[in-house]
Amino acid sequence: MDRFSDPPAAVTNLIEIALIKADASKLGISEIACREGGIQFRLDSKLIDMQLIAATISKYGSKMLFSAGEKPYVMLRSTEKLTGEELIFNIKFVLHDMKELKF
């Protein structure tokens, strides 16, 4: 907030995205994308923490998918099409859980 008014929604969204990117980077996540079937968290293959991945999958059960292919990722499965606000909420929720689970 500045002396004139609350910041525009676009500014608030940019700040949210910057914070998400910073948190993701600390957890070894190089990219977050909305894909058919859910939200994909692409992992930096040099920084994969298998204990963290195992703990995350254990917490989310069948809602979380792990792929160890050439470009490894975890995906939070969703059958619904999410709005922008729902996407940001879910991304922040998963990142928060991963930070809490990190050993």
E strand intervals along the chain: 29-35, 38-43, 64-67, 73-77
The pLDDT value recorded for residue 8 is 84
Is 86 contained in some domain?
yes
Is 29 contained in some domain?
yes
- Give the span between the Cα atoms of 43 and 55, in whole angstroms: 15
Single pTM value for the model: 0.84
- Give the span between the Cα atoms of 4 and 81, in whole angstroms: 37
Residue 23's domain spans which residues? 9-101
Instruction: Going residue by residue through the chain, which has 103 residues, state the pLDDT in tens, using 9 for 90 and above.
Output: 567 788 888 888 889 999 999 999 999 999 999 988 899 999 987 878 889 899 999 999 999 999 988 899 999 998 888 888 888 999 999 999 999 988 6
The pLDDT value recorded for residue 41 is 95
Is 58 contained in some domain?
yes
Residue 65 DSSP one-character state:
E
Is 2 contained in some domain?
no
CATH code of the domain covering residue 84 = 3.90.1150.50
Residue 53 near residue 74 (C-beta atoms within 8 A): yes
Is 43 contained in some domain?
yes
The pLDDT value recorded for residue 103 is 63
